[in-house]
Amino acid sequence: MLRLLSAVIALLAPWGPAEAQQLRDLFRKVSPSVVVVRTLERELAPEPSRGLVNIPGLGSGVLISADGKVLTAAHVIQVAERVGVKFKDGKVYPAHVVGSSARADVALVQLDRLPTSVSPAPLADSDSLQVGDEVVVIGAPYGFGHSLTVGHVSGKLMIEGLVSGVPMEVIQTDAAINVGNSGGPMFNLEGEVVGIVSSILTQSGGFEGVGFAVPTNVARKVLLTGGSFWSGMDGFLLQDSLAQVFNLPQRAGVLVQQVAAGSPAAALGLRAGTWRATIGGEQLLLGGDIILSVAGIEIKPKGASLDDMRNLLGKLRPGDSVKVRVLRGGKVVLLTAVKPGR
């Protein structure tokens, strides 16, 4: 029995170093495309008397094109007033958001200035992923840039509803994911991006073996096919009993939580929440506008109309105007903005 066990160990032993070498080669190959995304946003202070304060943010991302496009998570940049992209050499380049989908939790950032040399990562056909496939996540957990973790595809889960007409799927993985990994790339062993890290399920606040990424096919269809749009606003969908509590004149509306300075939402004149409250178990910022319709499309329960709005806004050209109806101080107000050129 001992000789048999020794023989088995001898047969299996070469696979360890070979796999380690493969991971080293993979890391060297893809690491130049992985970035740290640093943001600055204005947020209501815990003590209302202090007003708005600057809050630094941290996430990860991946360069996907030679002209400086970076994929990341929507929640990393959604209300960012400044965005900086840090490469492996430590240099930080200013950038701006060109598109995001809060429902899919993916966003597209454009570098304002390119490094002297770029090494974009290719996007894979994420539909080819199978449960059990080995995957690699590279990002900046807790700010530790270019940190690598390895795991497997634990599941491929379908989420109810569509995002921009695309069935919403997420990749479940046991590769370690923590704060700062959001927006970072998930690679297959060929060095192709198969997903963008989104979230974890946790009781402790740290990683507990269940993480999720948005497949690249979803990100591609939502952000890279057709028009991209970024509102610069964070909102909360009011529906059912909450719609009645806020005395909405319709079945649903979006309560504005935060608005980034210089964003389309700010140009429109949307007002953000100004004081904190807990209603129905939800932590909300109250006092801001409640969006009722965008370009004639009414907000509906379960976000059924949000994709239609995003698609319409993504097709706007410089000079086009958009009208938004909001409930402000108990009165319906019509806001109008013109899309600027960039």
182: annotated active-site residue = yes
**Radius of gyration for the chain, computed over Cα atoms and rounded to the nearest angstrom:** 22
For tokens 């815990």, the residue is 46
Cβ-contact 195, 212 below 8 angstroms: no
Partners of 249 in beta bridges: none
Contact status, residue 33 vs residue 4, Cβ threshold 8 Å? no
* Token pair for 263: 């964003």
Q: In the structure encoding, which two tokens stand for residue 16, read together?
A: 């360890």
Residue 142 gets which letter from DSSP? G
What is the DSSP annotation of 79-121? T-SEEEEE-TTS-EEEEEEEEEETTTTEEEEEESS--SS--PP
Annotated catalytic residue, options 147, 154, 182, 198:
182
Cα gap 253→236, rounded to integer Å: 8
The pairing of strands 233-239 and 147-163 is unpaired
* Cβ atoms within 10 Å, residue 130: 9
What are the percentages of helix, strand and coil residues in the chain, rounded to 5?
20, 40, 35
Catalytic residue among 60, 100, 105, 293: 105
Catalytic residue check, 75: yes
- For 28, 107, 203, the CA distances from 229, given in Å and listed in that order, are 34, 9, 34
Which burial class, exposed, middle or buried, applies to 168 when counting CB atoms under 10 A from its CB (0-12, 13-18, 19+)? buried
User: If you ran DSSP here, which 8-state letter would residue 116 be given?
Assistant: S
Per DSSP, 328 falls in state E
65: CB partners within 8 A, 6+ apart: 120
Q: How far apart are CA 145 and CA 90, in angstroms?
A: 10
What whole-number distance in Å separates Cα of residue 40 and Cα of residue 38?
7
Which of 33, 60, 75, 101 is labelled catalytic? 75
* Pair 28, 191: CB distance under 8 Å: no
The residues annotated with a catalytic role in the active site are 75, 105, 182
